[in-house]
Amino acid sequence: MPSIKPVERKYMTTTVEQFLETNYSGFDSTIYRDLSLNLTKLLTDGPLSEQERFMNLLAISTTLENQDFMKWAAQSLKDLGVEENVIRESTEVAGIMGMNNVYYKFRGYLPEEVKENYSRAGLRMQSLMKPVTGKANFEMMAMSVSIINGCPVCISTHEKSLTELGVTADKIHELARMAAVTKGLSTLKKTKLIF
């Protein structure tokens, strides 16, 4: 992947604020302020690079089926100079991980004495072997999606893989925080339908 130039924090803060003003017009509660300030901090500061932030935001928002976030994250990646195939995989990881999360959550619910009856998934997962985004980036997005889908088995597996790849605990924790805040804002947006 080509190297990405870092974006100035002031520019990114303005970009986040513009997105929120456009998509959350009329929200002014303390809950909205908490969520919007958290998103601004996550996207302007912290251990993740700009590319990592928006790749994960794209994977998370695709999982949540949040079109506003998806379009913004994809456009932000384009603005950063990220290649189209990387952006595409950042959306599609939600599909393959959605499949895995559902299957492995099923296995996780089973009592130990019957798990041997379901020892082989038998599902094709070749895309996990040589992702175009690179192994560490793919694993980070897989972790983000698994957090949203609530699969303990996948979360544990991807945390271990990320640690083995040298991804710091700070970055892994940031993925969980980003998933949490994006979920919160996605849920909050739905309240607009009744008020």
Instruction: Please indicate whether residue 129 is annotated as part of the active site.
Output: no
Structure tokens at 13: 């803060």
Task: Report the Cα 183 to chain-centroid distance in Å.
Answer: 10
Check residue 8 and give its pLDDT.
67
Check residue 126 and give its pLDDT.
75
Of 102, 79, 95, 108, residue with least CA distance to 14: 79
Which one from 60, 80, 154, 172 is the annotated catalytic residue? 154
Check residue 129 and give its pLDDT.
75
Q: Which residue has the tokens 């089926």?
A: 65
Check residue 195 and give its pLDDT.
60
Please list the alpha-helical segments (H only) found in 9-151.
9-23, 30-44, 50-63, 67-79, 84-109, 112-115, 135-149
Which one from 151, 155, 172, 178 is the annotated catalytic residue? 151
Amino acid (one-letter) located at 69: F
Check residue 7 and give its pLDDT.
59
Check residue 2 and give its pLDDT.
40
Instruction: Please indicate whether residue 144 is annotated as part of the active site.
Output: no
* pLDDT means over runs of 10, the chain (195 residues): 55 90 95 97 95 98 98 96 97 95 92 87 78 95 98 96 98 98 96 68
Structure tokens at 60: 């998370």
Indicate the burial class of 60 (C-beta count within 10 angstroms; 0-12, 13-18, 19 or more).
Answer: buried
DSSP annotation of 7: P
